[in-house]
Amino acid sequence: MAQLSRTEARLADPRYRWVVLAAGTAAQAGFSAVLIGLPVLGPALQDRYDLSLSEVGIAFSSVWIGPIATLLPWGLLSDRIGERIVLASGLAGCGLLVATAGWASSFWLLIALLTIAGALGASVNAASGRAVMQWFSAGQRGLALGVRQTAIPVGGAVAALALPAVNSAAGLKASFVFLGAICIGCALFAGIAVHEADKAEAALAAEDVEWTLRDRRLWILSAGSDLYLVGQIALLSFFVLFLHDEHGLSDAAAAAGLAVMQVGAVVTRISAGRISDSLGARIRPLRWIGLASCAGVLLTAVLTKAPVAVVLPVMVVAGAVSMAWNGLSVTAAAELAGLARSGAAIGFQQTTLSVTGLIVPVAFALVVDSTSWEAGFALAAVGPLLGWVLLGRLRES
């Protein structure tokens, strides 16, 4: 009974919401270290499995395959049983499979393990976003979800800084164990720290879910976000390979540049969330980011043959800008659906992003293989521009 009293006291403390935010952010960072760690390990994977650029694109896409099937179910499960179990179990399973992937004897076994790992790790997307929705008021959600979305660049920065050293010292197996251990550690933190804000008054009804998925505004928001992701993936996933293959940078030097980009993305995401709260709007700043992202990717295309001292800082800034939109998009999706349906709405939106994340790396690599880096980046710049146009059809509520 004493333990229950301490738990109730903690839940009543208004500062506890920051613990929930920290746990959700850590969980997202753990999974993001895997997503961004793969591009950091791109040259090493290329050497170990003797891969073409297109096959490397398949490897980068592998962790996006599983979430297509599981993101919406994870979101619905979060709405029904809460975030704690979903966060901890999914991310822990992901960590175990990622650690095992280092022993994959063939490229296709590697793809299979990473696919299943992605399916399990996708639990963090809807569950951690829903947890923030539960604990923060509308006037703070933009900032809170912006902070939570900094998990992606934070996880990416950790992977970019640590993996070159780990891989150089102990090889690819140790690199995958390192990524898996991060996921398991973050899963333990979430399992200990996250609790429900209160008990739902009623279970989510089937018709509520159907209504959520039929909401035209959610489809437009998701489609616009998908188009934004095109530019982000081109800059983020192929940053290390482009600088290594085209400009002769070492893996460590290119990964260090990627880490700086992630630090910049932390700033842009928090700033975007704070600006949206001050404006009381999500779509307006979301569209501003689309235009800026388009300009950054297009400038990268123009400067692909420029000296590395010119193109590297441009890509770092462009990448940081291209990652600024994610928190606003998640916030907008959750607020469109309402608190009871927020897990389903975020799960649906993240599912569409996973489809894009599956297609874009392979398509981008094929374009570069058959044409040039310039053409690849130029085509990628069209994505956020079209997203800006599409999101113009949404009105602020």
Percent of the chain at pLDDT > 90 equals 38
Q: What is the pLDDT of residue 207?
A: 47
Q: Which residue has the tokens 């400038």?
A: 299
Q: What is the pLDDT of residue 2?
A: 47
pLDDT tens, residue by residue, 22-43: 888 888 889 989 988 888 888 8
Q: Is the pLDDT of residue 336 over 90?
A: no
> What's the start-to-end Cα distance of the chain, in Å?
45
The mean-pLDDT minimum among 96-100, 205-209, 231-235 falls in: 205-209
The mean-pLDDT minimum among 93-102, 153-162, 386-395 falls in: 153-162
Percent of the chain at pLDDT > 70 equals 86
pLDDT confidence tier of residue 19, bands split at 50, 70 and 90? confident
pLDDT tens, residue by residue, 49-82: 998 888 888 888 888 888 888 877 887 787 777 7
Higher per-residue confidence, 132 vs 87:
87
Q: Is the pLDDT of residue 202 over 50?
A: no
Q: How many CB atoms lie within 10 A of CB 216?
A: 9
Q: What is the pLDDT of residue 200?
A: 47
Q: What is the pLDDT of residue 213?
A: 65
pLDDT confidence tier of residue 348, bands split at 50, 70 and 90? confident
Sign of CA dihedral 381, 384, 385, 390: positive
The predicted model gives 226-251 an average pLDDT of 91
pLDDT confidence tier of residue 156, bands split at 50, 70 and 90? confident
81: which residues sit within 8 A by CB, 6+ positions away? none
Which fold does the domain 2-195+211-391 belong to in CATH? Growth Hormone; Chain: A; (1.20.1250)
pLDDT tens, residue by residue, 74-122: 877 877 777 788 888 999 999 999 999 999 999 999 999 999 999 999 8
pLDDT tens, residue by residue, 275-314: 888 888 889 999 999 999 999 999 999 999 999 999 999 9
Q: What is the pLDDT of residue 255?
A: 86
Q: What is the pLDDT of residue 5?
A: 45
